Amino acid sequence: MVERMVQAEDYEPFVGGETIERIQKKAKSLAGLHVVNINSTYYGGGVAELLSSTSLLMNSVGIKTGWRVIQGPPDFFSITKKMHNALQGDEINLSERKMEIYEEVIQENAIRNHLDSHNMVIIHDPQPLPMIHHYKKNGPWVWRCHIDLTSPNRELWDYLAPTIEKYDAVILSLKDYAQNIKTPQVFFMPAIDPFKIKNREMSEEEMKERLAHYEIPTDLPLVVQISRFDRWKDPLGVIQAFHLARKEVDCTLVLLGNVATDDPEGAEIYESLLDSREERVIILSVQDTALVNALQRQAAVVLQKSIREGFGLTVAEAMWKGTPVIGGNAGGIRYQIEDGVNGFLVSSVEEAAERIVRLIKDQKLREEMGKKAKETVREKFLLIRYLEQYLDLFNAFETIYRLKGLPGS
């Protein structure tokens, strides 16, 4: 049986018929557009998560949209992860050798990809960024950077900026990340797909079955963080906060994580946490989206104690399930959580511990915050809004290109 793909109309119960009609109208004027997205991993992490749903939703409104993933050897991904870290503020030793490997692997990918027939190219994050050097444009090229650019390393930024400026537009997740470059910058916060296995309704039975499968006890309230194993997500801080909280309330911690194919540091971070395992500290590295759903629903509290976070999809996912989230006061999380209203923002282990205790002790507070959290996601963080922002950008390009008589119009 072929399953019916999600359509824009499916969002009607959440956003109303008028919004859907408006979006369909915007898409209609873009028929004939051939879009391709390029990133560096097909799973693990928010970019792949977003691309898998957004590319399908765009096809559902009649825009031919593809998604391709670049390939590279481990040393390439080790360099690009260092770049990712440096864009989030770390130091980097930007040697000639690193730049050569980076540029050469991207040239190889450019040769293999034949992007000449697409009239809209969207390149995600720094890994495939230099692809633009290897093509004659047949329409706009957009760089979509998902990273927290609060304080990028200057040396790296200065190296990347001339390439970024070859693009026709840059999409960043927040205005706070705007940079001093010539290219026009627009700001789209990511969003979640409520129809995915990870986010859709789940029966009590299904939930219990998934948790039992991994021997996750439900006798005590669950405190959960779900994240790639990455130090920016502060997993050690989560464990410390949990231990502090446990002095006052009894609970179980579950840290669920995965490792993206473009992130060579993940395995090391995972291993560094294993000594913290004990009866009430469960650390799992499995790829199971139904388990993500079950944990986000069953949790009394979800944590996302990030130090840097472009935008936390995991935050929106948990909020959508009516679970209150304690988020690090960083990056996009500050725009997802309104402190003390639909969750809590924290800046230290102690603050996180205090909020865990408060939420576990107060069921009414959990319910109230959870309800508001769900409503926040319905209003602001569903994928249909993200789709409309893309359509607006594409339509703006169409107008410019038509006026200028450029190819791709």
Interface with ligand UDP by CB under 6 A: which residues?
45-47, 49, 198, 226-228, 256-258, 289, 292, 311-314, 317
Q: Give the list of residues 6+ apart from residue 211 with CB closer than 8 angstroms, or none.
A: 218, 291, 294, 295, 298
User: Distance of CA 41 to CAs 12, 38, 101, 230, 263, Å?
Assistant: 31, 9, 18, 16, 9
User: Distance of CA 127 to CAs 189, 269, 300, Å?
Assistant: 20, 21, 37
- CB 262 to ligand UDP: min, Å: 11
- CB 313 to ligand UDP: min, Å: 3
- CB 239 to ligand UDP: min, Å: 16
DSSP 117: G
Side-by-side strand order, sheet with 301-304 = 281-285, 252-257, 222-226, 301-304, 325-328, 343-346
Alpha helices in 119-183 (DSSP H): 154-164
Please, how many CA atoms are within 13 Å of residue 281, restricted to the half-sphere of its CB? 17
Compare residues 14 and 43 and give the one whose CB is closer to ligand UDP. 43
Identify the three-state secondary structure at position 6: coil
Strands 252-257 and 281-285: parallel
CA angle 156, 160, 163 (to 5 degrees): 175
- Cβ-contact 155, 92 below 8 angstroms: yes
- CB 267 to ligand UDP: min, Å: 14
User: Distance of CA 225 to CAs 89, 258, 279, 394, Å?
Assistant: 23, 12, 17, 36
Alpha helices in 185-228 (DSSP H): 204-213
Strand partners, 343: 325, 339
- CB 258 to ligand UDP: min, Å: 4
- CB 301 to ligand UDP: min, Å: 17
Q: Which residue is nearest to ligand UDP (CB)?
A: 46
Compare residues 118 and 198 and give the one whose CB is closer to ligand UDP. 198
What letter represents residue 140's amino acid? Answer: P
- CB 117 to ligand UDP: min, Å: 30
User: Distance of CA 98 to CAs 28, 83, 163, 375, Å?
Assistant: 44, 10, 16, 46
Q: Which helix (H) or strand (E) holds 282?
A: strand 281-285
- CB 368 to ligand UDP: min, Å: 24
- CB 196 to ligand UDP: min, Å: 9
Alpha helices in 178-300 (DSSP H): 204-213, 235-246, 266-273, 289-298
User: Distance of CA 86 to CAs 89, 126, 157, Å?
Assistant: 5, 11, 9
